Amino acid sequence: MRCKIFTIVLSFVYLYGWGQQEDSIMIRKIADDILTNGKAYENLRVLCKTVGGRVAGSPQMYKAESWGQKALQNAGADKVILQECNVPRWNRGGKDEAHTINDSKKRSLDILALGNSVGTGSKGITAPVIMINSFDELDRRQDEIKGKIVFYNYRFNPLFVKTFNSYADAVKYRGQGPSRAAKYGAVAALVRSMTHATDNNPHTGATLYNDSFPKIPAAAVGLKDADILVDIIAKDKNAALFLKTNANILKDTIGHNVIGELMGSEFPDQIITVGGHLDSWDPAEGAHDDGAGCVHAIEILRVFKAIGYKPKRTIRIVLFANEENGLRGGTKYAEEAKAKNENHLFALESDAGGFTPRGFGFTLAIERLQAIRQWLPLFIPYGVYEFNAGGGGADIGPLNKAFGTPLAGLQPDSQRYFDLHHARNDVFEAVNKRELELGAINMAALIYMVDKYGL
């Protein structure tokens, strides 16, 4: 049998019977419309260029909400609503600065304060710097930490082909690093940026303070400057840094999930959620993270209307508030769903960039996942060849917790994502129109299949 199997396997031939021809035609229709009349790219341009970076609670957040409402209305939503939720208000407060002190050249370092971090105060902090390569090393050298700036130099691992694995491996230094250093008396923390980019852009992102320890200022440093710092520390045991960050945390304010619906024709109470998050870090335009996810989701609604596909179940497009530093939008969405006892069949998120698609990751019983892998031949012509176990998205996670709702996340090619994730270069120009459109095509195809066959 083996011989025959691999012939069948790898030519990706006809693998399931019912309706495949019809589905293939419908998905081609979706693709043709998106590749010809797609609005995802233009929607993204407007978001990036007229709103830009949009941290939760900032004036840009409100502009982005208006953009989202309008884009969903233009796409043809049956109704568009704003779902209120509290959001935190972290504010960078000015230009972050750092330079070496006793280095002969007094070099500036390109840094970005971490999201949620406290500022140094207007005078900044001047202190000796200690390089730490791992939490093990931190614990071993705990007696040397007091009064110092801890520089976490943990390297992004190039050996993972799927770069989200490198991120999962490294991000704890950004998330937990400052508080773990504070535990031993550090006065500030710097982290080597989570990227294998060839440039020097620092990559920000949220840190999570542990309330048991003092909150110390924290920032990310770009790779070239991180390497310079490594050299300086190697040459001079008394190397010191000046650091000035200006961040402050104001009290919570009101933000919104922006929601557009296509009402289901047969089972309007069965809800399929598709979303991305509307907030982004401030130094860039949040083009891939996660403007792309927002316009992907909106495009599904648009294309269904454009080709006259009337979903059986209700398709709800959600542009979530505050993913980056609080997850308040996703949390609120699930809370309200629970309070209203809604029926959530499935949720799909795009939060891994607008790159050429390769797969979907599913949080779903393994037998169900195996069953829907028979759909893959429909997706392969559009670049998706993997339905992987595990995946979803931060914003739809609470829905799974609340109801056990099956989740999926779009998995685009990940090679370029961490070159620009949370960095200045995450701008509209870094997005390719067709790659973005192929993401929307595959997402729309998946939603069409789930709407038609259930899950």
By CB under 8 A, name the binding residues for a copy of itself.
1-2, 5-12, 15-16, 31-32, 35-36, 41, 158-159, 161, 163, 196, 198, 356, 358, 370, 373-374, 376, 381-383, 385-387, 413, 415-416, 419, 432-435, 438
Shortest Å, Cβ 184 to a copy of itself: 32
Instruction: Tell the smallest beta-carbon distance from residue 175 to a copy of itself (Å).
Output: 24
Shortest distance, position 49 Cβ to a copy of itself, whole Å: 13
Neighbouring C-alpha atoms within 13 Å toward the C-beta of 155: 7
- Tell me how crowded residue 17 is: count the other CB atoms within 10 A of its CB: 8
Sequential DSSP letters for 294-343: HHHHHHHHHHHHHHT---SEEEEEEEES-TTTT-HHHHHHHHHHHHTT-E
CB of 198 to a copy of itself, least distance (A): 6
The answer to whether 258 and 82 have CB atoms below 8 angstroms apart is yes
Of the residues 323, 324, 342, 349, only one is catalytic, namely 323
Smallest distance, a copy of itself to C-beta of residue 67, A: 20
Return the number of the residue (279 or 426) whose C-beta is nearest a copy of itself: 426
Query: Cβ closer to a copy of itself: 5 or 339?
Result: 5
What lies within 8 Å, CB to CB, of 374 at 6+ separation is 15, 16
188 beta partners:
149
User: Has 323 been annotated as catalytic?
Assistant: yes
Choice between 36 and 238, CB closer to a copy of itself: 36
Nearer to a copy of itself, 319 or 372 (CB): 372
Phi, psi of 319 (to 5 degrees): -100, 105
- Of 77 and 408, which has the nearer Cβ to a copy of itself? 408
> Are 46 and 448 within 8 A, CB to CB?
no
Distance CA 161, CA 414 (A): 8
Cα 243 from Cα 57, distance rounded (Å):
26
Report the catalytic residues: 323
